[in-house]
Chains A and B, each alone.
Chain A
Amino acid sequence: MRNLLVYVGAIIFTLYFLIPLYILVLIAFSPAKFTLESLYPPLYFKGFTLSNLVYAFTQYNFIHPFLKSFFVASLVGIIAILLGIPAGYGLSKLPGKLAYAFIVVLLITNMVPGLVVAIPISVEFIKLHLFDSIPGLALVQELVTLPLAVFILQGTFSAVPKEVEYQARIDGASTLSYLSNVLIPVALPGIVAAFLISWMFSWDEFTYAVLLSPIHPTLPVEIYFNIERGNELAAVAFSLVFTIPVIVLTLILQKYLKGEYLAGGVKY
């Protein structure tokens, strides 16, 4: 009886999570007359076609937005790690109260509304020739991801017992060699999580991208533009290619995406 309830719940949630994706696949692979052109589109496959995808990829420029998204996201992930590791290490060494204050300030930065900052930044970026560029967009997205990355890394580093560092020091390790030979390997799952979360955030990011990089858009913005122009099939096809790799990545790296990292500051 109890188990039955669990299964009913599990099935309902499974449907809830999967149905929207099913609809997306349905539209992408069905002839348009069964999907977008009919008033009450059937909920199952009435026909199968690849022509939507072929049409979208031959008629519209897809590869540039895809690459732009990819490079920006990777740059965001790399910067987040490079700056996040020293910052997280530093914070994990500070006394609790002080570190907490720092983290609060960091998270405030993380909370500043995208639209508020993006509008003045766009003015500055035009002057600095960063407008519409990959590094420019990556730097701005870092505003949101870096605090989160530092937060995650700080939590992970704090979880490493102090004795490990003392032992390394006794064995004559400098700060740098302690970091690279001991701490980073030990804290690797947290570092991977921070990288992934930054990467995925940037891949998904829309507000800054649409305001700061409208001429050579990233993929989400390109999809949005296509919707606005009424090229819905192209948008669906792009969405599909945009989504599948990330879902696969998410599933492979599932074990690194844990709530513990996000709750890094919670003291048990």
Chain B
Amino acid sequence: MLAFAFYPSARAVYLSFFTSQGKFTLDNYKELLYFNLYGTIENTVILTVGALMLQLLLALGVSSILVREFRGKRVLSTISIIPMGVATVVAAITFSFIFQTSGGYANTLLHYFGLSGINWYFNRYLSLFIVMIADSWKNTPIMTLIILAGMYSIPRDLYYAAALDGAGPIKRFVHITLPNLKKFIAIALIIRGVSEFNIFALPLILIGYSPSILTTLAYSLYSTTTENLASAAAVVILVFVSVLIALNIKLGGKR
């Protein structure tokens, strides 16, 4: 299985340094620069970090509710898992109906309040933000599962003791919940982080090729130009992911 993953990666690196006639070249990478490589990398990083933060916040919110006892808890925990069963493509389509360049459901809502509609894709940050929202909707459940498991592992007594000492809810969250959740947050970020970086179907459907991110760039090159150029773009992704992985291992080793 390792061969299955590493051989093709090596082959992609190899392909990226050759022309389609099989001559060694660095031109593929030079050519990438014409496709706004730096902007693309920037977009990808913004998207990855933003989406991870959003998911983490939502997951912390949902799980701090679910960890309590209240009527309707089962209902909420059932509902909170539903997006997991919804395919990414389906989520992307649904959100594309909600956020449109003109009209759409989000704008209907603004309309009800007497506001005028917004073009949800009028600049790249807003477009990326829409992708973040859609992605967070889809992936909050898996984050929640992990964070919730972590929250259950924290002894309740700690909270009672802190409450007796006069710590308010925010203080308790910062000083008890967060430090005890560190490992779980790390696992959640590792599991989600790399797949976040490889996010593909959502942006492809929601925003197409502009603003471009690394995966959609590689795909558009794959379907329009040579394999070699697409491989070069893929190698850029590989480099970034490798850095992420190295970071993960380093952090993981400290645990």
> Is B102 a contact of A39 with CB atoms below 8 Å?
yes
> Is A10 a contact of B72 with CB atoms below 8 Å?
yes
Interchain CA distance A18-B94 in the complex, whole Å? 12
> Is A115 a contact of B198 with CB atoms below 8 Å?
yes
Interface stretch of the complex, out of A51-59, A104-112, A159-167, A184-192:
A104-112
Given A224-B205, A262-B187: A17 in contact with B149 (beta carbons within 8 A): no
Of A10, A117, A236, the residue contacting B9 (CB under 8 A) is A117
Give the distance to chain B from A215, nearest Cβ to Cβ, in Å.
Answer: 14
| Residue-wise interface mask of A (155-189) relative to B, using a CB-CB cutoff of 8 A (1 in contact, 0 not) | 00000000000000000000000000000000000
> Is A40 a contact of B91 with CB atoms below 8 Å?
no
Interchain CA distance A119-B15 in the complex, whole Å? 10
Interchain CA distance A69-B191 in the complex, whole Å? 24
Of B89, B144, B238, the residue contacting A113 (CB under 8 A) is B238
| Residue-wise interface mask of B (75-107) relative to A, using a CB-CB cutoff of 8 A (1 in contact, 0 not) | 110111111111111110111111000111101
| Residue-wise interface mask of B (94-130) relative to A, using a CB-CB cutoff of 8 A (1 in contact, 0 not) | 1111100011110111011000010000000000000
At the interface, yes or no: B171 with Cβ under 8 Å from chain A? no
Interchain CA distance A168-B88 in the complex, whole Å? 45
Query: In the complex, which residues of chain A have a beta carbon less than 8 angstroms from the beta carbon of B111?
Result: 40
In B124-165, the 8 Å CB interface with A consists of 137, 142, 144-150, 153
At the interface, yes or no: A7 with Cβ under 8 Å from chain B? yes
At the interface, yes or no: A135 with Cβ under 8 Å from chain B? no
Given A13-B61, A21-B94: A113 in contact with B234 (beta carbons within 8 A): yes
Query: In the complex, which residues of chain B have a beta carbon less than 8 angstroms from the beta carbon of A206?
Result: 88-89, 200-201
Of B148, B197, B230, B237, the residue contacting A259 (CB under 8 A) is B148
At the interface, yes or no: A85 with Cβ under 8 Å from chain B? no
Give the distance to chain A from B214, nearest Cβ to Cβ, in Å.
Answer: 8
Interchain CA distance A14-B6 in the complex, whole Å? 42
In B204-223, the 8 Å CB interface with A consists of 204-205, 215, 218-219, 222
Residue among A16, A115, A120, A251 with the most chain B CB within 10 A? A115
| Residue-wise interface mask of B (3-33) relative to A, using a CB-CB cutoff of 8 A (1 in contact, 0 not) | 0111111011001000000000000000000
Query: In the complex, which residues of chain B have a beta carbon less than 8 angstroms from the beta carbon of A113?
Result: 197-198, 215, 234, 237-238, 241
Query: In the complex, which residues of chain B have a beta carbon less than 8 angstroms from the beta carbon of A232?
Result: 93
> Is A3 a contact of B70 with CB atoms below 8 Å?
yes
Interchain CA distance A206-B215 in the complex, whole Å? 12
At the interface, yes or no: A138 with Cβ under 8 Å from chain B? no
Interface of B is mostly: helix
At the interface, yes or no: B252 with Cβ under 8 Å from chain A? yes
At the interface, yes or no: B2 with Cβ under 8 Å from chain A? yes
| Residue-wise interface mask of B (216-249) relative to A, using a CB-CB cutoff of 8 A (1 in contact, 0 not) | 0011001000010011001101100100110001
> Is A120 a contact of B8 with CB atoms below 8 Å?
yes
> Is B94 a contact of A23 with CB atoms below 8 Å?
yes
> Is A250 a contact of B84 with CB atoms below 8 Å?
yes
> Is B90 a contact of A257 with CB atoms below 8 Å?
no
Given A105-B2, A117-B9, A265-B187: A112 in contact with B241 (beta carbons within 8 A): yes
A-B contact pairs, 12 of them (CB 8 A): A23-B94, A38-B103, A41-B105, A113-B241, A117-B8, A119-B8, A223-B90, A224-B204, A247-B86, A258-B145, A262-B142, A262-B149
**Residue positions of B touching A, CB distance < 8 A:** 1-2, 4-9, 11-12, 15, 58, 61-62, 65, 68, 70, 72, 75-76, 78-91, 93-98, 102-105, 107-109, 111-112, 117, 137, 142, 144-150, 153, 183-184, 187, 190-191, 194-195, 197-198, 200-201, 204-205, 215, 218-219, 222, 227, 230-231, 234-235, 237-238, 241, 244-245, 249, 252
A119-B227, A227-B205 known; 16 other A-B pairs, CB under 8 Å?
A: A13-B76, A13-B80, A14-B75, A17-B83, A21-B86, A35-B97, A38-B103, A104-B249, A113-B241, A116-B9, A117-B12, A139-B4, A206-B88, A223-B90, A239-B94, A260-B149
In the A-B complex, the 10 residue pairs with the smallest Cβ-Cβ separation, listed nearest first, are A259-B149, A259-B145, A250-B85, A206-B201, A39-B103, A120-B11, A247-B85, A116-B234, A246-B85, A220-B89
